[in-house]
Chain A
Amino acid sequence: MRPSYRAAALVALAVFALYAATLAPSSALWDASEYITAAYVLGIPHPPGNPLFVLVGNVVTHLPLPGTSVAVRVNLLAALCSAVAAGVWFLVTERVLTGWLAARWQRLAGATAAALLGATAFTVWNQSVVNEKVYTVSLAIFAVVAWLTVQWCDDPEGRVADRRLLLIAYLLGLGYANHPAGLLPLPAVGIAVLLRRPQTLLRARLLLAGAGLFALGLTPFATQPIRAAYHPAINEGDPTGCVDGIGWACTFSATTWQRLKANIDREQYGKPALSERQAPFTAQLGMWWLYFRWQWLRDAYGEHDTLQRVLGVLFLALGVLGGWVHWRRDRRSFVFLAPLVATLTVALAFYLNFRYGYSQAPHLGDTVPREVRDRDYFYLWSFSTWSVWAALGLVACWHAAAEGLAARIGWARAGRGGTDPGGDGTMTRADGREGSVAVGGGPPRPAAAARQDVAAARGAAHSAPPSAAALPGRRAWLLASPVLLLALVPLAGNWTQAPRIGETVARDFARDLLNSVEPYGILVTAGDNDTFPLWYAQEVEGIRRDVTVAVTSLLNTDWYARGLIRRPVYEYDAANGPAVYRGRAWPKPTEPVLDMSIAEADAVPPYVVLPGPQLFVQDSLRAVVDPRRLPYGVLERADVLVLRMIRDNAGERPIYFARTMGGYPHALGLERYTLSQGLARKLLPREPDTGRDTLYLPGDGYFDVARTRALWRDAFRGPEAIARRGEWVDRASVGIPLSYVDTGLTLASALAQTGRDSLVPSILARVERVAGATRTLELLRGAQPLQPEVRSDVPRGREVPVRPPDDGGAAGRDGGDSGRVP
């Protein structure tokens, strides 16, 4: 029987329409901005670099879609990929139901339920309305591989069987070039081949061709060293040996290979071996279960905990039931789908080896190591695939309900010898029990015998519907169909929290943070949420490109400083800058932010051991760098480079620290020289004099009242964006709204202290709108400490010792006896 491609396309279109209607109009927090920017500039995002996504995303950014921004186009790519996956799950489910339900409308209903469940599961939906990751592209490839494998399992000796296997091999390679998760279907494909037709694995030419195509699928990685040689704005890992432009010798050099390999292997992350468990495996499975519960009712504020648990158990049970009926009714596709589900749940949880989830087991607090954010997106494939089994379980319930109704009301056609008076291919028997009508007519037989008949029929012509299956009548099915409404649960349950309509917080926050910095300034940030949106704002929307963003988590790597040295100095666009910077000249610097060669930057050690408190002197600035205040007790490479920037840019560029960095200036002994202006702290050459507009606020340092008020009143757009968005779902990124709450409250306090009480109410009202809309305090209840500090998902480039080594640090550099920071 030909699969219902047209119906699948319609379902995919409907899913796409849902995503398009709930799409983010801009970028988002976490990695969305990084990926959109990387696609736009044809750059290299964080390891492994995702070259397939970058290529596809780049093409998408240039599509002439009227009325859309770059971000919307990339978001539409995510929506399209997930919609394709929904269409494929429709086909897979319909295919499984073919050997079970005789009427096409029933199979289509079951298949639609699968597509709907998979498409509206929280993480799938939420990740499909903004391109936060490359996982939706992976999902589409996953689904196509699944469909090809199911088809191969149906006909492993057919005319196109080999081609399907070869295409699967190619797609696995291509999927890996998008993300390593592209290989996740491989074990399931292997098991399916082994169980369906093991002799396939002995065909040397086929295997050789498959290996060749797999390798061809990996070749998009070759784009990385080529692009890196052109030093695009996003060039993470800098996987090239070329320093001054592309060339044969430097491209095909050992350095290029070593850096490319480090990127592909994600060495930067230094993941421990699987034998080193970062949390008990039961806790890792608990994390999957937590996120699984989120899929059917996202409840960020813990208001419907019991209902969420009930729904979690319900959909878990439906999936298990679906797996069971799948096993009973269609072994051919089961041998693939079951290993796939196992790979995407238990095996994936083991492989990912996460620490405790950010929102998991809040009662344990900081007594256990935690991920810096919730990682539900890593299980997007798991929840999407689960929808097939959940839908099969739902169909089993539908079937049982129809049988019950048929038995109760007597809408049955026992003894009519396999005819189908209703004309819809459905039949039933008087008592409604399964298997009591023989295939092809004849007297009623026991259920087990009927099952054997069905199995035999399935073996003979698998893709054909049961010509006279033991099924209830049409009216019974129709009456029982409200059972299928359960498939609408995630649509309703996630309706308020999965969509990203009107979400512009990331872009507006980026604009506000950049505008807190004076023209041509350097802004030191922590990573991720106070960094990636800035990249997007600068490179995609052209906002404040004059500001140089220096992110400390990446300064610890060996490649990031090269990018800072190479970064051009962009002209300040005064017309689009804040009014507070108008009316005065801002000389454009001519030198890079780091006055050092590439070789000198490469030679900066991972850390410098300080024998004791050291004095950093720059004109009138005298900062005591005390190793006891540094997180690892040593001066990290990032700290060295930040101090170097302070020295190299004295009198040339203002230097700022994002307020989201928390106590970083304090750790470097600079706290007495920083002055808060808006969302950033400006480093001053000397300790400021206090006055009406420069206050010293205990715990916050010096505060520029006039500048902050001007920015807050005239430049900031974030508070309105946050209030408009409301329902702040992601706990780990709550530092962003908190930074506005913190700044607004500090400003209000400063104004009150200086007798300007009349200005306070409007500021507090705005703060309340932010805090109220995001329910900030409720969101933090039982979670991490209340602070606007941003925690980076980007790991430190290299591990540094917790305590300085006794020998002064062979891997680092001794601070010497001069008492000065080198």
Chain B
Amino acid sequence: MRMPSRRALGWWGAAALVLLLGYVDLARGGVTLAPVLLVLGYVVLVPAAVLRG
């Protein structure tokens, strides 16, 4: 297994950031942006990051 490329790390960074923001908003009582960010992170960005390897 190779180390992730810089491009892949970019995807991982975006996924981590979006998930973090989603959880922060959720913890602050957000019910509009938080689920959008979390779905974007879990369903789109993390799989994309994994596939970009």
Mark A residues whose CB is within 8 Å of B. Answer: 42, 52, 55-56, 58-59, 62, 160, 162-163, 166-167, 170-171, 174, 203, 205-206, 209, 213, 216-217, 220, 222-223, 226-227, 230, 246
Contact = CB atoms under 8 A, between A and B. Distances in A.
Contacts of A162: 1, 53
27 contacts: A42-B35, A52-B42, A56-B43, A58-B31, A59-B35, A59-B36, A160-B51, A162-B1, A163-B50, A163-B51, A167-B47, A167-B50, A170-B46, A170-B50, A171-B47, A203-B1, A206-B1, A213-B50, A220-B42, A223-B23, A223-B26, A223-B38, A226-B23, A226-B26, A227-B26, A230-B29, A246-B27
A58 B42 contact: no
A167 B11 CA distance: 14
B39 interface: yes
Contact of A209 (B1, B31, B32, B36): B1
Contacts of A227: 26
A55 B31 CA distance: 10
Contacts of A216: 46
A281 B53 CA distance: 45
A796 to B, nearest CB: 32
A163 B6 CA distance: 16
Given A55-B38, A58-B31, 17 more contacts: A55-B35, A56-B39, A62-B32, A160-B51, A160-B53, A162-B53, A166-B50, A167-B47, A170-B47, A205-B1, A213-B50, A223-B23, A223-B38, A226-B23, A226-B27, A227-B26, A246-B27
B31 A42 contact: yes
A213 B42 CA distance: 11
A325 B43 CA distance: 36
Contacts of A209: 1
Contacts of B51: 160, 163, 167
Interface string B12-43: 00000000000100110101100110110011
A55 B47 contact: no
A325 B29 CA distance: 55
Contacts of B43: 56
Most chain B CB neighbours (cut-off 10 Å) among A42, A55, A174, A213: A55
Nearest to B35: A58
Contacts of A246: 27, 29
Give 5 closest A-B pairs by Cβ, nearest first: A58-B35, A163-B53, A167-B50, A59-B39, A42-B31
Contacts of A205: 1
Interface of B: 1, 23, 26-27, 29, 31-32, 35-36, 38-39, 42-43, 46-47, 50-51, 53
A163 B51 CA distance: 6
Mostly, the A contact residues are helix
A311 B51 CA distance: 42
Contacts of B39: 55-56, 59
Contacts of B47: 167, 170-171
Contacts of B50: 163, 166-167, 170, 213
Contacts of B35: 42, 55, 58-59
A174 B42 contact: yes
Given A174-B42, A205-B1, A222 B23 contact: yes
A227 B23 CA distance: 10
A174 B48 CA distance: 14
Nearest to B30: A42
A31 to B, nearest CB: 20
Contact of B42 (A55, A62, A203): A55
A88 to B, nearest CB: 15
Nearest to B52: A163
Nearest to A246: B27
Contacts of A58: 31, 35
Contact of A220 (B29, B38, B53): B38
A216 to B, nearest CB: 7
A148 to B, nearest CB: 10
A598 to B, nearest CB: 20
B47 to A, nearest CB: 6
Contacts of B29: 230, 246
A213 B47 CA distance: 10
A41 to B, nearest CB: 8
B52 to A, nearest CB: 8
A230 B34 CA distance: 14
Contacts of A174: 42
Nearest to A169: B50
Nearest to B26: A226
A5 to B, nearest CB: 15
A577 B50 CA distance: 53
A131 B1 CA distance: 40
B40 to A, nearest CB: 9
Nearest to A57: B35
A203 B42 CA distance: 26
A412 B39 CA distance: 56
A203 B2 CA distance: 12
A203 B1 CA distance: 9
Nearest to A216: B46
A154 B14 CA distance: 31
A205 B3 CA distance: 11
B25 to A, nearest CB: 10
Contacts of B36: 59
Contacts of A223: 23, 26, 38
A62 B39 CA distance: 13
B23 to A, nearest CB: 7
A170 B44 CA distance: 12
A146 to B, nearest CB: 16
B16 to A, nearest CB: 10
Contacts of A163: 50-51, 53
Contacts of B42: 52, 55, 174, 217, 220
A230 B1 CA distance: 43
Contacts of B46: 170, 216
Contacts of B27: 226, 246
Contacts of A217: 42
